[in-house]
Structure 1
Amino acid sequence: MASKLPQTFHKLVATKLTPKFREAVQIKEVPMPTPGPHEVLIKNRFVGVNASDINYTAGRYDPDIKPPFDVGFEGVGEVVAAGDKAKVRVGQAVGYMSYGAFSEYKLVRAGTVVPLPSVSKAFIPLIVSGTTAAISLDKVGEIKNGETVMVTAAAGGTGQFAVQWAKQAGCHVIGTCSSEDKVQFLKSLGCDRPINYKTESVKDVLRKEYPDGLDVVYESIGGEMFTTCIKNLAKRGRLIIIGLITSYESHSKGLRSTSSLADLESIPSILLSKSARMSGFFLLDYGKDLIPYCKKLAELCGTGQLQSNTDQGETSPGGPLRGGRGLYQRGGVFIQWKKPWKGGCGAECSGKQTLRQQISPRTINAVLIKFIIIKTQGVKISVSMMQMMITLYVHGK
């Protein structure tokens, strides 16, 4: 291992199950590992924040999971140490998907990383959000040229990729969103028919403009939107469930539908009458497809054929967020703001002041999560929702 690496590093660890992420995690200092023969040690530069982080620490994905456990699913960084049989060189920019990404350093199997042309925040949304869209639309939705595809929450972290992937397959794409800014954003991605459900009725638009129904639906909202989608499937239509946003802020374990009982009871007859089908999609069940699809997405992104949009809260109340800059000890935790920001602990930070000098280590994780407010194409969303990917910049000395 390179001598310049510190002996210890910090990471976030879930110490209890709760949908309140700040209460679920603590910062832990752990020894720096040495890569095994087939492993690489990555210094994280960017990590992605997803709704899945809340679902995981709330015990919704695995109700039997017991704390403590590592958190965070995806990272982009550079290899700083490698085993003698690893086929990835030190200094290589890589992306990866692995439990425990919310960490300064991450040890992973060399065969699971995706080589990248550079360490860039643009690659972060591809790893979970991009692959979820691409793999599910291909493997479950079986999208074909000329089909009509509807994407709900289309301006969100994964929706943006579903729109573009379906367009590249030659589909006509409808995208639901909640503001005029998002309508313009969807148009910039090539979406044929954005629907702002705050000003238009999704039901009316589908009834009047798409009387033959929807061939494929990429659904992540649940509740009334889910019901509308399944009732508007075409003959042999396919509905893919990749999330249930309406249930993410509940305090229950498991992901619970917010659709009415009557609507749920009607599903079998709707599917039967249309020879339609409804399928769930969970990315980890398609592990063999992850690396090849991630490589393809990175290639498209690198050549400008795919847009990868991240959001850092440029219009958030505290000023634009340029990143929660780790490290927790070596280099300090940095948050950059245009205007001075006063945290709940009474500390005031502006420019590149080191939070460790003003806030106890015990509360740094709360600061990183509580005061990062993100904006999804004009609509402010608290991180507790995590509907849109943001990036946390992680830099050392």
Structure 2
Amino acid sequence: MAPGSFAEYTVVPAAVGTPVPALKPEYLALLVSGTTAYLSLKELGGLAEGKTVLVTAAAGGTGQFAVQLSKMAKCHVIGTCSSDEKASFLKSIGCDRPINYKTEDVGSVLRQEHPEGVDVVYESVGGAMFDLALDALATKGRLLVIGFISGYQSPSGLSPVKAGALPAKLLRKSARVQGFFLNHYLSQLRAAMDHLLEMCARGELLCKVDLGDGAPGGRFTGLESVFRAVDYMYMRENTGKIVVELPHSVNSKL
């Protein structure tokens, strides 16, 4: 969460260190992805029993937590993904309706199965998916933007959306679109992390990590494999949070 993250070693103030019960890669998934899902849904989502939640990139690093936390709130959860294997994973963590966007048209599914719209969207893809999610909002619906991976590789770093119609669409439904950036909620990070760790310890929350075993070139091991891990993410091949393993040295516990 600081400049210089792609390094074998880094120095941070003790005050921002996060204690974890053990050296497990699963806990890495909680630090940014888990807390983003937890805090954005808690502070902005307005989740309540019976509401419908759409999670885009639902089998990814943060989507997996949005699915599980929404189910814990007794919501009906829809999740988009890119393969049947990911759809099976989503079902295993409680997603009521996985949508494989490579075999089904997301917009058509939402219109047919949820003609009244969805109450909350947890959106991390951007571009065309943002437009679909916006159109799918119910009256007084909320669209939370926590990322836009479809635009990360563009020269400007922006993901194009049809913003010209945005005011009219929001007005017509009394809907809202709001961004969430974890750095603006750092005062709540420690408490959120502690809560998520407790949920993991009780077996209530699954932290899925992808170490790259199925990636071209195999498992992501060593700093030199970071570029493969990033490409793997952009190809949308990962299930869960991508983790690169760095070899331990004799001083790694210092």
Q: TM-score, normalised by structure 2?
A: 0.90
Task: Give the Cα separation in 2 of the matches to 1:149 and 1:130.
Answer: 17
1:300 alignment partner, one of 194, 199, 213: 199
2:82, 2:236 within 8 Å by CA — same for their partners in 1?
no
CA change 1:220–1:323 in 2 (3 A) is: same
When you count helix as a share of all residues, which structure comes out higher?
2
Cα distance, 1:373 vs. partner? 4.7
Any idea what SS the aligned residue of 1:304 has?
Answer: coil
The reply to whether residue 257 of structure 1 matches residue 159 of structure 2 is: yes
Classify 1:383/1:202 alpha carbon distance in 2 versus 1 (closer, same or farther; 3 Å): closer
When residues 384 and 237 of structure 1 are mapped into structure 2, their CA distance, relative to the original with a 3 A threshold, is closer
The alignment covers a number of residue pairs equal to 247
- Once the two structures are superposed, the pairs formed by residues 368-383 of structure 1 within 5 Å of their partners are 368-370=225-227, 372-373=228-229, 382=232
Give the C-alpha shift of residue 231 in structure 1.
1.1
Q: Distance in 2 between matches of 1:285 and 1:227?
A: 26
> CA 1:258/1:293 → structure 2, altered by over 3 Å: closer, same or farther?
same
TM-score by length of 1: 0.59
Q: Distance in 2 between matches of 1:384 and 1:178?
A: 12
More strand by share: 1
Which 5+ residue runs of structure 2 have no aligned equivalent?
none
Partner of 1:43: none
State the one-letter code of the partner of 2:142: R
Identity of aligned residues (%): 47
Distance in 2 separating the partners of 1:387 and 1:316: 8
Q: Distance in 2 between matches of 1:187 and 1:163?
A: 10
Task: Trace 1:1-397 onto structure 2 (pairs within 5 A).
Answer: 73=1, 98-252=2-156, 255-259=157-161, 263-318=162-217, 320-321=218-219, 323-324=221-222, 367-370=224-227, 372-373=228-229, 382=232, 388=238, 389-394=241-246, 395-397=248-250
**What secondary structure sits across from 2:166 in the alignment?**
helix
Q: 1:106 to 1:189 in 2, by over 3 A?
A: same
Q: What SS does the corresponding residue of 1:308 show, helix, strand or coil?
A: coil
Return closer, same or farther for 1:308/1:206 CA change in 2, 3 Å cut-off.
same
Report the residue type matching 2:200 in the other structure. Answer: C
Give the conservation status (yes or no) of the 8 Å contact 1:149–1:217: yes
Offset of residue 382 of structure 1: 2.5
SS at 1:114 equivalent: coil
User: Of the two structures, which has the highest relative contact order with CA contacts closer than 8 Å and spacing of 6 or more?
Assistant: 2
Distance 1:183 1:385 in 2: 17
Where structure 1 has 5 or more consecutive residues not aligned to the other structure, the ranges are: 1-72, 74-97, 325-364, 375-380
Return the letter of the residue paired with 1:392. Answer: V
Q: Which string of whole-angstrom CA distances, capped at 9 and with x for unpartnered residues, describes residues 75-133 of structure 1?
A: xxxxxxxxxxxxxxxxxxxxxxx443434443333332222111111100100111111
Q: Give the greater-gyration-radius structure (CA).
A: 1
Q: Could you tell me whether the CA contact under 8 Å between 1:246 and 1:258 is conserved in 2?
A: no
- What CA RMSD, in Å, does the superposition of the two structures yield over aligned residues? 1.9
Greater alpha carbon shift after TM alignment, 149-158 vs 110-119: 110-119
* Equivalent position amino acid for 1:258 in 2: P
Q: C-alpha offsets along residues 164-205 of structure 1, whole Å, 9 cap, x if unaligned?
A: 111111111000011100100100110000001111111111
CA contact (8 A) 2:229 2:242 kept: no
- 2:4, 2:75 → 1: CA distance? 37
Aligned amino acid, residue 308 of structure 1: C
Instruction: Give the aligned residue type for 2:172.
Output: S
Q: How far does residue 224 in structure 1 lie from its aligned partner after superposition?
A: 1.4
The amino acid that maps onto 1:291 is R
Match for 1:299: what amino acid? E
Give the match's secondary structure for 2:154: coil
AA matched with 1:204: S
**Alignment check: 8 A CA contact 1:369 1:383 kept:** no
Letter in 2 for 1:391: V
Query: Deviation per CA, 1:329-349, whole angstroms, max 9, x where unpaired?
Result: xxxxxxxxxxxxxxxxxxxxx
- The CA deviation at 1:323 is 2.4
CA distance in structure 2 between the aligned counterparts of 1:275 and 1:396, rounded to whole angstroms: 56
The one-letter amino acid of 1:219's match is: E
Q: String of CA shifts for 1:290-317, please: whole Å, max 9, x gaps.
A: 1111111111112211110111121223
> Contact (CA 8 Å) 1:156, 1:387: kept in 2 or not?
no
Cα pair 2:57 2:63 within 8 Å, conserved: yes
